[in-house]
């Protein structure tokens, strides 16, 4: 089968299964060919992510150390003051990030908190950084407020397949997630949407998860593929370690299904070898979170380690101008 670069949102399960099940070398070859057609394969986009409100979340996501239901070793923190957020953002810019992401452990934001986050967004933008926030579920009015504040991206993950979702989270439904994604699209905010591998899902469920991502009305502009970070105290702490080849296979399939999206390595990267990250980049990953802060309260490689890895691979990070050009040419 010849690699495709068309932006399709009507994929069938069997078609994706055929791609996912290809011999790995064929899959990698196809994915890399499509990747090269759409992106410079030696450049990655880098974002810095901080937690602006940590822990005490009422939701029950089984992977997450921030749920109030599990006994985990995290420091609960109220919404950070603006000055602290801006000092993190300034450092992120100095360290070469093009996007500053702010995450909050909420089911959904309250009006007074959203107003504070909107102020953070407009102030961070003044530093010349793109902004992304992840705050839980949103109404249409809330997405419009965020748009007015100048928000570029909103992260809202589907996390897994529709038929496995209730094994992972019971306090909201898949449809709730889809509704927020639809509100974001109506407000014309770019979408960052992906999920987590290694939560006990089957291969068929990983394929259904990819289908749920690529068959939305438009492909998410950014697709984070997380490797579960197994955190002590969460229900998934003792789950079997996930097969790294299967992870790479998922990245390659995501690249083929969503040829113009940025495919992001996010949580769990700390547990990936340099060689594995290199293979993920070859398979089509072209975006990473870096920074000194923990990633959603789980470890992340240091900026120095990331810089050394990119240097060893002969790769560089996008600067803001080139990134904007690439984003414009990738609009669905």
Q: Which residues are catalytic?
A: 57, 61, 64, 101, 132, 192, 264
159 binds, among ligand SAM, ligand SF4, none (CB under 5 to 8 A by kind): ligand SAM
Of the candidates 38, 45, 46, 66, which one interacts with ligand SF4 according to CB under 6 A?
A: 66
CA angle 219, 243, 47 (to 5 degrees): 45
Of the candidates 85, 105, 258, 288, which one interacts with ligand SAM according to CB under 6 A?
A: 105
Spatial contact of 309 and 274, defined as CB atoms under 8 Å apart: yes
Stretch in the footprint of ligand SF4 (CB under 6 A) among 64-72, 80-88, 89-97, 183-191 = 64-72
| Contact pattern from residue 173 through residue 212 relative to ligand SAM, giving x for each residue in contact according to CB under 6 A and a dash for the rest | ----------------------xx----------------
In the region spanning residues 125 to 184, those forming contacts with ligand SF4, defined by CB under 6 A, are: 136
Of the candidates 159, 201, 221, 327, which one interacts with ligand SAM according to CB under 6 A?
A: 159
For residue 81, give every residue at least 6 positions away whose Cβ sits within 8 Å of its Cβ, in sequence order, or none.
none
Least separation in angstroms between CB 49 and ligand SAM = 9
Least separation in angstroms between CB 105 and ligand SF4 = 4
Spatial contact of 60 and 8, defined as CB atoms under 8 Å apart: no
Stretch in the footprint of ligand SF4 (CB under 6 A) among 54-62, 86-94, 109-117, 321-329 = 54-62
Alpha-carbon distance of 168 to 161, in angstroms, equals 10
Enumerate long-range contacts of 168-173, CB under 8 Å, 24 or more apart: 168/61, 168/62, 168/63, 168/199, 169/59, 169/60, 169/61, 169/62, 170/60, 171/58, 171/59, 171/60, 171/107, 172/59, 172/107, 172/137
Comparison of 105 and 210: residue with beta carbon closer to ligand SF4: 105
CA 52 to chain centre: 17
Q: Does 301 bind ligand SF4 (CB under 6 A)?
A: no
267 binds, among ligand SAM, ligand SF4, none (CB under 5 to 8 A by kind): ligand SAM
Stretch in the footprint of ligand SAM (CB under 6 A) among 13-21, 25-33, 59-67, 122-130 = 59-67
Alpha-carbon distance of 124 to 100, in angstroms, equals 8
Kind and range of the H or E run holding 192: strand 190-192
Residue 140: DSSP 8-state: H
For the chain, how big is the Rg over CA atoms in Å? 18
67 binds, among ligand SAM, ligand SF4, none (CB under 5 to 8 A by kind): ligand SF4
Of the candidates 100, 154, 247, 296, which one interacts with ligand SAM according to CB under 6 A?
A: 296
In the region spanning residues 87 to 126, those forming contacts with ligand SF4, defined by CB under 6 A, are: 105, 107
Taking CA atoms, 270 is separated from 48, 249, 323, in Å, by 15, 19, 25
**Angle of the 244-257 helix axis to the 274-283 helix axis, nearest 10:** 20
Task: List the structure tokens of 29.
Answer: 């070859």
User: What is the binding site for ligand SAM (CB under 6 A)?
Assistant: 63-64, 66, 103, 105-106, 134, 136, 156-157, 159, 195-196, 226, 228-229, 231, 267-268, 296, 298
User: What is the binding site for ligand SF4 (CB under 6 A)?
Assistant: 57, 59, 61, 64, 66-67, 105, 107, 136
């Amino acid at each position: 089968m010849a690699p495709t670069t068309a932006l399709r949102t009507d994929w069938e399960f069997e078609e994706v299964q055929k791609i996912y099940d290809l011999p790995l070398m064929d899959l990698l070859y196809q994915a890399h060919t499509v990747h090269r057609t759409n992106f410079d394969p030696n450049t990655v986009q880098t974002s810095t992510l901080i937690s602006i409100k940590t822990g005490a979340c009422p939701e029950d996501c089984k992977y997450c150390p921030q749920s109030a239901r599990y006994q985990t070793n995290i420091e609960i923190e109220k919404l950070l003051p603006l000055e602290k957020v801006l000092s993190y953002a300034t450092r992120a810019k100095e360290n070469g990030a093009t996007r500053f992401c702010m995450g909050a452990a909420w089911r959904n934001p309250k009006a007074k908190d959203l107003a504070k986050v909107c102020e953070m967004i407009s102030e961070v933008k003044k530093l010349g950084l793109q902004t992304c926030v992840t705050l839980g579920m949103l109404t249409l009015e809330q997405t419009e407020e965020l748009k007015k504040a100048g928000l570029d991206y909103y992260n809202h993950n589907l996390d897994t397949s529709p038929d496995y979702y209730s094994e992972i989270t019971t306090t909201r439904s898949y449809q709730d997630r889809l509704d927020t994604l639809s509100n974001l699209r109506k407000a014309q905010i770019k979408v960052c949407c992906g999920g987590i591998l290694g939560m006990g899902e089957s291969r068929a469920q990983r394929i259904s998860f990819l289908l749920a991502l690529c068959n939305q009305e438009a492909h998410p502009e950014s697709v984070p593929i997380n490797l579960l970070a197994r955190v002590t105290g969460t229900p998934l702490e003792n789950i079997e370690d996930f097969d790294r080849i299967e992870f790479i296979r998922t990245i390659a399939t995501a690249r083929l299904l969503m040829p113009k999206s940025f495919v992001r390595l996010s949580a769990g990267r700390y547990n990936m070898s340099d060689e594995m990250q290199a293979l993920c980049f070859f398979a089509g990953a072209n975006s990473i979170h870096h920074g000194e802060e923990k990633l959603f309260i789980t470890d992340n490689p240091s900026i120095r380690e990331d810089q050394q890895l990119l240097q060893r691979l002969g790769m560089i990070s996008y600067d803001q101008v080139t990134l904007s050009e690439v984003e414009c040419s990738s609009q669905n």
